[in-house]
Amino acid sequence: MIEAKKIKFHFDNHDYEALTQKIGSSVWVYFQGKTYSIPATDQNLKSRHKSKSANAGVTAILSPMPGKITKVLLSAGQNAEVGQVVIVMEAMKMEYTLKSELKAKIKKVMTKVGDQVALGQILIEFESSSNKAGEKK
Partner 1 sequence: MKKINRLAIANRGEVAVRIIKACEELGIETVLLHSEADMGSRAYRLATKKICIGGAQTNQSYLNIPANIQGALASGADAVHPGFGFLSENADFAEAVEKAGLIFVGPSANSIRLLGDKISCKQLAAKAGLPLIPGYSGKDQSLDCLISEAEKIGYPVIVKAAAGGGGRGMKLIKNSTEAKELIESAQRESLSAFGSEQVFLEKYLDRAKHIEFQIFGDSSGRVVHLFDRECSVQRRHQKIIEEAISSSLSEDLRKKMGEAAVSLATLGKYKGAGTVEFLLQDGKFYLLEVNTRLQVEHSVTEMVLGVDLVKAQILTAQGDFIFKTQDHSPRGHAIEGRVYAENPYQGGIPSTGLLGHVSFPEGPGRRFEYGFESGDQITSFYDPMIAKVIVWDESRPRAIQKMIKVLEGSVIFGVHTNIPYLIAILKHPEFINGTMTTRFIENNFAEGLKVPALAEKEKILFEKVLSAHKPSLSLQDAQGGIKTNSPWNQSWRIL
User: What residues line the site for partner 1 (CB under 8 A)?
Assistant: 1, 3-5, 7, 9, 11-12, 14, 16, 18-24, 26-31, 33-40, 42, 45, 48-49, 52, 61-62, 64-68, 70-71, 85, 88, 90-97, 116, 119-120, 132-136
| Cβ-based nearer residue to partner 1, 4 or 110 | 4
CB of 65 to partner 1, least distance (A): 5
Shortest reach from residue 73's CB to partner 1, in Å: 10
Residue type (1 letter), 74:
L
Residue pair 105/127 in contact (Cβ under 8 Å)? The answer is yes
**Which candidate, 83, 58, 70, places its Cα nearest to that of 111?**
70
Q: Which is nearer to partner 1, 31 or 127 (CB)?
A: 31
Residues 6+ apart with CB under 8 A from 61: 86, 87, 98, 100, 122, 123, 124, 126, 133, 134
Name the minimum Å distance from CB 80 to partner 1. Answer: 15
